[in-house]
Structure 1
């Protein structure tokens, strides 16, 4: 019973701690520019910096948190933009791991999480180390760091920690299992990528079902039930420790593009597909190809990434030189060749798990038995099938139709993160079988499978004529480069295809030879394992490093995500309140948001109504929309110089204005359809039911009325008024019903939704001031739930420790 509350301190200090330090150093060495004080510029993080600048500046200037920003999409909550909430008791754990610079700290979490899981599964340290390296250096996990999907990577890095806690519970090590499960789940949820949490829980479900069946067969359902119950309790407490961001996100989701639209028609008048989440095409846009799945083990079997650096290989460079292209131009061209010929819109890099990992994972599946093998194999298969999306529509349609929340997430290929974890764990099982002589050496079966793999790769090599080597974007590339260059690109694709298949064959033969040599006592275990480790690192790092942009590391002084143009500087001279539109970015870039209160922005969950309004504006070119959104400046690209130039919109209606009348329309579609025929300076539109029937709809506008903005902060706006008649004022501020309140001369008054996205107020005569303030009740509620959850977690943990202590001392 001692093991229930004690640790193996000797192993901890002699083995595990030095390995942990070594993995931390390896993480730094892999991103060695960090050691010279440089930082990695990540594309998505540049966009995030643009979006969050106002939030961070407000935090620094006031020492307080704002949960609303004005600089993107006209205004939106910060719940998915790095908001910091009170009572974040998990923050110290996160900051401990942040002792390593970004992104090395996440690579370290990849490593140490799998090392911990395999140690819990009672594998010797060298097998655990193999698994941690196999996982951490997989291309997909490194690429999501390269492009700046930091929340996704952080969320994925805690998968192994959660499974380690679950396995401790199934091993009847209840105290440590409960503590680790709660904290790991809490940190995973805190990472704020709920799509990854969803996928993790799917894998956990597979584990729980598999081990429940094993417990049923072993007649140990009672102990299983205890462990499972504690894990469920850990889930509840982990949710509680993250109550504020979870509740805030759930609340905002209904008003974002992840919620259900009220529209029945698209801007072109065609019927709109009704869904409680994202539409089918958006969900499945990034669907992993069935044949493309072979790039898990043959990295560039479909060309690699969308922009491959071929250097002087594969014939393209020589062709350019022979046709009079300068060496410098040829070098530049071959650094970014569109060799990918799969069906995804764009691919940064193949999701390569390693031929070494695959080889041992296959051995683990074929030559080992048990629940762990079964759940890992099922989890990997399940992940692969779902990642195919529209290419395997039967199972995808099933999940979209019947699984709760599945329609809230896009890029179904992202579920590969489950497979990325399952394969290294299976590989460790196969490695253990290969180098443990107590396991039966089934050499005939072993070589039959090795031969089968080799024959499969060789058959693909000679079957290249079956493939077109044409990509989904080749028509575009033909227009850009011409037919001759495109044909040479196809030849390069064929060359890459053949080279990587031969590479895979060589690895399989060498790995099989190492296993055979050990099994026939021609090489010692330490030598064989040493060779396997070398092959693993050369295999994985050799591919991954091709997609790591070392030039993406810059000195901290050059870290500014965007540089202000002369046009930006000119606009910033205007100190009034206004918005800026950069049409060439639309709603897909945050450059403008870095400098101005912008119409555009960059976010995976945009305010739904705002996006719908903007789509309608773009399709029908209704410039009056820009007027009531107070777009005072439009940044356009000069056709001659290519530089941004500011154009002033003299029709912008300002921060607030009184209207003569309110026009009722029956539906959301009717509002958008009425945009073309409405004078928004005189009239405002509202949907039936949004304004009570007892309210007036026409007004005698006071010609002497004045309204001016006294102060403006993201979460508080104060206006001064001079008014002799009752009026209805429209404000060019985004309507959001959860958290915004309005007071007229200190008295609370309702805010009404007009013009589809704006706020409106009935303002009585003689009013002197209006104040809007954003104070979301969900933050207060969440903070209270966090405190309760922490109290319960501490209380339950110490109670369990005390019970174990009593049992140990009573000899039970």
Structure 2
């Protein structure tokens, strides 16, 4: 039995073994507990610190943190959900390896399965799988710390395989594969990449519809589509433990509906639901950026590119006596993006084969990939191709909830190698080379690369926004520009040489001069060697650092030590020595007013735009901003204690009712936060009969990120205002007075308030979202459906064999 299995599947076992070895060789530092000190990873780790410490100390998860923006849910930061069967299967598909080591293996495995489904031979499938997984863009994502984006892309091929199976009428298997693929994809936690994946699959469905319609098989199309919808529901259901709270939360973030009617002064808000056009389109490719898909450094590579000491810039630094032994980094990128960590490079040979495939391959798969490729390339240009982008932004559902349009090319890395390998398979199977459809397009693309190298530098001055900084340092920016020109020339010629070598192999194969094995070996070595040599510029094993070295990014400054001597468990810090609202470094040690996240609460963004950036001290006081860090003499960080900070809670002696959100936020320009509460008329029933005579006291007696306990004592009924962020109603924060449910309201646009009865009482706020609990139940049930279906499929097939 085992012998028969091995004889039938030995090549697949070798493929899996190769994928495992490649993953281990490239990412062995990850298995040693090391990490890449990427900026985004450092930022996220800092934002997670409070809930991570809470988990270690209390043994429970908190879905709320006060470490950033006064307080926010952790759904996008450090969401911990209960494990289900899909999570355990994901461990299998990643060979139980951590982080990128596991996900690169998963990506190769899933792409291999997709290739086999398309009828590609195993050896070619291996080449395609490695080329997909190690496309430079994927490695750049890891260098930048975008592990969730990377993981979502790696799981994409299984989703595509499920769609293809459905429209090939293999419905039961399609349901299993598609639902499992969607479940894993969504659990990788990057909704934007999942959305883009769906966007490029839409043309496939439309083309399938036309094909079924022509064949008068509309019923089969409807059935296949229904199976996919069922698979989508079950796959998404496996992630409802996170999706439900995220859907609930997103309505209150910058990506939801604006709260204010007059919000023209807010950069990141919009008059419609979603992000503003300018904010969303900030990272838009230019035409020149698209060249990097097959000419790796045509626009400089990255904004912190490693340069040789023999470069023009390196020689200039040496001439000035600079120590360049540790290497040189310079902003070589000069394209349309504000900055970038590296190119979206598919590989010169993969792109060559893809380009040939556009002429050589027939059928609906080619047309789907062509449309998907064109659509993603044009959409990646964002504001630089406004006609299409504006249409999608205004009319395509959910498109305006996402920013950085250039990132859509991350999903293009899946479809380009599909067509490339299909083209190579057909070339190798046909033997006789079609000059018009293979040689002419291939040689034409290689010649184009030569032309880019020869005349490309003359079409632009190759300036960068960073050049002015070097000019201020006394360096001539033209030195950098000359290096950029050299880089464009050398990378263009490099791509051309690789393409000519590949075309030579194909030509000699067609003429019968070399055999299939030699072509496969040659193309594999050229293709993988090309990608790996470029990738090493952006991520190599020596870039990984130990956890101890990673934590050096959070070393205590004297100002931090001074603040941490305060025994008060709950106060806020405003750090002006860093980009306050674009960095979460301070959140590692403090509960901060600032932070960094693309999906912060809209109300807090409004407070930033209308009050905090305008130094409204009353607003800072009501947010309990007890410490302000700023640069003192010689730019040395200095800390000042704000003695006017109002503390954790207080009673007020006056309520000012307002009729709209605009009035509510505007009223904060002229009010006394200690004596007055601004309350929206939607809460008028709660405070209608409250005759306030301020007296007594209220204080915080226990602090946890997801539970706050106060003690109050007053002779008469009071309105208490808490310096805690409002998130509601009924979205997780539950209030109790003496363990009995109590209603709390919003005050001062952003804070919580509560009617407190006379006498001594214990007030408790607990963050326990019902959406998380319901989601966990649905996730478990849906994962069971997938594996019951899989078990039935295996049983049915085994029974057939018997």
TM-score, normalised by the number of residues in structure 1: 0.93
Structure 2 residue corresponding to 1:564, chosen from 552, 556, 561: 556
Residue 341 in structure 1 maps to residue 334 in structure 2: yes
Q: Counterpart in 1 of 2:412?
A: 419
Q: Which moved more, 1:446-455 or 1:67-76?
A: 446-455
Deviations along 1:320-361, one digit per CA (max 9) or x if unpaired, are 44xx412525x66x7222221111101111111111011111
Q: Counterpart in 2 of 1:121?
A: 118
Any idea what SS the aligned residue of 1:675 has? Answer: helix
**Separation of aligned partners in 1, 2:535 and 2:413:** 14
Q: Which runs of no fewer than 5 residues in structure 2 stay unpaired?
A: none
Structure 2 residue corresponding to 1:515, chosen from 481, 503, 506: 506
Q: What are the equivalent positions in structure 2 for 1:458-473 lying under 5 Å apart?
A: 458-464=450-456, 466-473=458-465
Deviations along 1:540-595, one digit per CA (max 9) or x if unpaired, are 11111111154431223333251222222221121212111112331222221111
CA contact (8 A) 2:268 2:276 kept: no
CA contact (8 A) 2:254 2:269 kept: no
Residue 441 in structure 1 maps to residue 436 in structure 2: no
Q: Counterpart in 1 of 2:640?
A: 647
Residue 615 in structure 1 maps to residue 606 in structure 2: no
CA contact (8 A) 2:354 2:423 kept: yes
CA contact (8 A) 2:65 2:72 kept: yes
**Separation of aligned partners in 2, 1:420 and 1:105:** 19
How many Å apart are 1:801 and its aligned residue? 6.0
How many Å apart are 1:176 and its aligned residue? 3.1
Any idea what SS the aligned residue of 2:80 has? Answer: coil
Q: Which moved more, 1:540-549 or 1:247-256?
A: 540-549
Deviations along 1:591-623, one digit per CA (max 9) or x if unpaired, are 211112221222221111112112223442111
**Separation of aligned partners in 1, 2:227 and 2:609:** 48
How many Å apart are 1:434 and its aligned residue? 2.4
Any idea what SS the aligned residue of 2:534 has? Answer: helix
How many Å apart are 1:776 and its aligned residue? 1.1
Q: Counterpart in 1 of 2:710?
A: 719
Q: Counterpart in 2 of 1:328?
A: 323
Q: What are the equivalent positions in structure 2 for 1:83-232 lying under 5 Å apart?
A: 83-86=79-82, 88-96=84-92, 97=94, 99-232=96-229
Q: Counterpart in 1 of 2:483?
A: 492
CA contact (8 A) 1:666 1:688 kept: yes
Q: Counterpart in 1 of 2:590?
A: 596
Residue 318 in structure 1 maps to residue 312 in structure 2: no
Deviations along 1:143-174, one digit per CA (max 9) or x if unpaired, are 11111111111111110011122223334444
How many Å apart are 1:781 and its aligned residue? 2.1
Task: Give the total of aligned pairs.
Answer: 795
How many Å apart are 1:655 and its aligned residue? 0.6
Deviations along 1:256-277, one digit per CA (max 9) or x if unpaired, are 1111222234585999741201
**Separation of aligned partners in 1, 2:446 and 2:772:** 58
Deviations along 1:367-407, one digit per CA (max 9) or x if unpaired, are 12112222112211111111111111111111111111111
How many Å apart are 1:98 and its aligned residue? 6.3
**Separation of aligned partners in 2, 1:447 and 1:179:** 41
Structure 2 residue corresponding to 1:56, chosen from 52, 58, 66: 52
**Separation of aligned partners in 2, 1:489 and 1:345:** 17
**Separation of aligned partners in 1, 2:272 and 2:344:** 31
How many Å apart are 1:797 and its aligned residue? 4.7
**Separation of aligned partners in 1, 2:9 and 2:34:** 32
Q: 1:797 to 1:226 in 2, by over 3 A?
A: farther
**Separation of aligned partners in 1, 2:8 and 2:716:** 78
CA contact (8 A) 1:657 1:731 kept: yes
**Separation of aligned partners in 1, 2:157 and 2:501:** 30
Residue 710 in structure 1 maps to residue 701 in structure 2: yes
Structure 2 residue corresponding to 1:749, chosen from 742, 755, 762: 742
Any idea what SS the aligned residue of 1:276 has? Answer: coil
CA contact (8 A) 1:671 1:685 kept: yes
Q: Counterpart in 1 of 2:297?
A: 300
Q: Which runs of no fewer than 5 residues in structure 1 stay unpaired?
A: 1-6
How many Å apart are 1:282 and its aligned residue? 1.1
TM-score, normalised by the number of residues in structure 2: 0.94
**Separation of aligned partners in 1, 2:589 and 2:272:** 36
Structure 2 residue corresponding to 1:256, chosen from 234, 253, 256: 253
**Separation of aligned partners in 1, 2:595 and 2:84:** 28
Deviations along 1:735-780, one digit per CA (max 9) or x if unpaired, are 1111212122233221111111101111121142211111111122
